[in-house]
Amino acid sequence: MSDEELIKRAKKGDERAFTQLVKKYESLVYSFAFKMCRDEDKASETWQDTFVNVFRKLHQFDGRSKFTTWLYSIVTNSCKMKRRQRKLDQASVSIEMPADNQDDPDHDHPVQTIPSWRDTPLDSVMDKELRTLLDDAIQKLPYDYRVVFVLRDVEGMSAVETGKILKLSVPAVKSRLRRARVFLREQLNPYMTT
């Protein structure tokens, strides 16, 4: 059954149709929530809150955007609410410094001063030290940058879709993404070059 049909039926109170929607998108929502929180308990709470909100607000979904776009906006709002409740932003750092100015404008020679990163095993063989480093680095990244990075680079959303989800202009999405990437790269650099 198509999303359109499931949503139509769920809006009319068809529990089976809503259950099918939950089943279809539960992994997507949990994966996104975990990538944002990097914590299983917080991801579970965000996952639950998201589907409770979907259940309550489904009648507001008018079909003008993709269902996944609407769903991601519910998850990001649930994440934000959780963070406000826990005042978690205190743990992150400011990345407002102009990343462009970190580079020497006169530097224009081919002598390599930026060390190459070593190849690192991914997935199941990723070592504990690297996992911890990845978790710490993304936790330090302020929420507004983290959500753009996860939507664009991890979830593979376009800049336009990301802008719709977060109610941001495309230039703002690009700017936050650039800063987020540079920040995370800097955090991983010592580990990846030694």
Partner 1 sequence: MKKKTVRCHDVLGHICEELDTKLTSARCRALKRHLEKCPNCTAYLDSLRKTITLYASSPNPRIPGKARKELFAVLKLEHRHTGRKAASHTKSR
Q: Pick from 12, 112, 128, 167 the residue near partner 1 by CB under 8 A.
A: 112
What is the C-alpha to C-alpha distance for residues 72 and 164, in angstroms, rounded to an integer? 10
**Tokens 């650099």, residue located:** 189
Q: Pick from 2, 85, 94, 124 the residue near partner 1 by CB under 8 A.
A: 124
What is the C-alpha to C-alpha distance for residues 94 and 7, in angstroms, rounded to an integer? 41
Q: Ramachandran region of residue 30, left (φ > 0), alpha (ψ -120 to 50) or beta? A: alpha
Whether the CB-CB separation of 170 and 159 falls below 8 Å is answered with yes
117 binds partner 1 (CB under 8 A): yes
Which helix (H) or strand (E) segment is 147 a member of?
helix 143-149
Which range in 62-70, 77-85, 87-95, 173-181 contacts partner 1 by CB under 8 A? 173-181
Nearest residue (CB) to partner 1, 152 versus 164: 152
Distance of CA 138 to the CA centre of its chain: 10
| Smallest gap from residue 167 Cβ to partner 1 (A) | 21
What is the C-alpha to C-alpha distance for residues 86 and 175, in angstroms, rounded to an integer? 27
138 binds partner 1 (CB under 8 A): yes
What is the C-alpha to C-alpha distance for residues 75 and 77, in angstroms, rounded to an integer? 5
| Smallest gap from residue 2 Cβ to partner 1 (A) | 20
82 binds partner 1 (CB under 8 A): no
14 binds partner 1 (CB under 8 A): no
End-to-end, the C-alpha distance of the chain in Å comes to 52
Site residues (CB under 8 A) for partner 1?
15-16, 18-19, 22-23, 26-27, 30-31, 34-35, 40, 43-44, 47-48, 51-52, 55, 100, 103-108, 110-117, 120, 122-124, 126, 130-131, 134, 138, 149-150, 153-154, 174, 177-178, 181-182, 184-185, 188-189, 192
